[in-house]
Amino acid sequence: MKIGVPVLLLALLVYPFVLNDPFYHDIGVALLLAAISASAWNIVGGYAGQVSVGHGMFFGIGAYVPLLVYQHGAWPPVVGVPIGIVLSVLLAAAIGYPTFRLRGHYFSMATIAVAELIRIYVGTVDYLGAAIGLQGPAVGRGWWDLTFRGELPYYYIFLAVLAVLLYVTFEVQRSRFGSYLRSIRANERAAASLGVPVRQTKLKALMLSAAFTSVAGSLYSIKTGFIDPESGFGLLVSVQMLITAALGGAGTLFGPLVGALILVPLQAATNTWFGGSGSGLTYIIYGGIIVLLARFEPGGLYEFWHHISMRWRARHAA
């Protein structure tokens, strides 16, 4: 594992030069975006164990605001990124404050309900592009519009954001805050008895997670130059984050990245093999992964690896 991390990071760094083709660059960008989204979800869904099924709402806000400021103010889309973060954090506080008073699945239910409400509402408001959506600058007016012809600049911007996010998560993991998050995930009642301010800690995690998810949404819309309610706030956006993190290992630093490394190429392969008729396959793959994880390894591939290495060690120690 200790050697694996630098190797993985080095591989991500040189990937566009090894597979120097627009098709592979596109997959690389999609992979990094999935890893960023899932890693952001992981802070609250993984470490704190508060499973959000509506993180698309933060992704959507982050995606919409840059194109809104461009469309209505002719500002560079990147100006919308911090505004998106602030709005997402405020929304996170508004959802978390009442639902974290309760234990159990109320938070999950609230997130799914609010995300769907926002998606439906956005589809009816002309100012927000209604069902058609919003567009960014077709041709960049300068570098600040972040409109590049090739995928390569996006790849490295996304990689830098992922690196920052993983560093923040790493620091969270080894801090008091991280320790509290994991204790809440393990046993909320016991955590509270040890002085953990449960509600406040969960709220902080949700707000931090929402901020990074919003950044992921902004990166997506700035790169594609287009956003509509389904690609911003759709249920599949939320589910994809959850599945990616859970597949690799929710509550682990590199689990979401590992999940993205498997899922994104898999999606690209099914799209290539089956073309447009294969789009429904995504749901089947997600469903299959949920069943397999629930049945065999709820801890994801990280736990699977942990069990195998433990057995290997035990066998060789004997």
Partner 1 sequence: MLLEAKGVSKAFGSFFAVRNADLTVAEGEIIGLIGPNGAGKSTFFNCLAGDTIPTTGTVSLNGADLTRASPDLHARAGIGRTFQVPATFEDMTVLENVVVGAYLRHHHRAEARKKALDVLEITGLSRFADQRARVLGTPGRKRLEIARVLALEPRLMLLDEALAGLTPGEVQRAVELLRRIHGMGITLVIVEHIMEVIMTLAQRVIVFNQGHVIAHGKPEEVVQDEGVIQAYLGRNHGKRRGKS
Site for partner 1, rule CB under 8 A: 174-176, 179-180, 182-183, 186-187, 189-198, 299
Minimum gap (Å) between residue 130 Cβ and partner 1:
45
Give the whole-angstrom CA distance, residue 238 versus residue 208.
17
How would DSSP label each residue in 26-93? HHHHHHHHHHHHHHHHHIIIIIS----S-THHHHHHHHHHHHHHHHHH---GGGHHHHHHHHHHHHHH
Give the whole-angstrom CA distance, residue 228 versus residue 122.
9
Q: Rounded to the nearest 10 degrees, how much is the dihedral formed by the CA atoms of 1, 49, 42, 182? A: -50
Look at the chain and count its residues: 318
Minimum gap (Å) between residue 196 Cβ and partner 1:
6
Q: Which is nearer to partner 1, 45 or 133 (CB)?
A: 45
Q: Which is nearer to partner 1, 179 or 224 (CB)?
A: 179
Minimum gap (Å) between residue 109 Cβ and partner 1:
24
Q: Which is nearer to partner 1, 86 or 294 (CB)?
A: 294
Minimum gap (Å) between residue 180 Cβ and partner 1:
7
Minimum gap (Å) between residue 285 Cβ and partner 1:
27
Q: Which is nearer to partner 1, 182 or 230 (CB)?
A: 182
Minimum gap (Å) between residue 175 Cβ and partner 1:
7
Map tokens 């801090």 to a residue: 175
Q: What is the dihedral sign for C-alpha 30, 32, 35, 40?
A: negative
Q: Which is nearer to partner 1, 195 or 276 (CB)?
A: 195
Q: Which is nearer to partner 1, 283 or 312 (CB)?
A: 312
Q: Which is nearer to partner 1, 191 or 210 (CB)?
A: 191
Minimum gap (Å) between residue 192 Cβ and partner 1:
4
297: which residues sit within 8 A by CB, 6+ positions away? 303, 304, 307
Give the whole-angstrom CA distance, residue 162 versus residue 33.
8
The C-alpha angle 75, 238, 121, rounded to 5 degrees, equals: 60
Q: Are 96 and 44 in contact (CB under 8 A)?
A: no
Give the whole-angstrom CA distance, residue 109 versus residue 119.
16
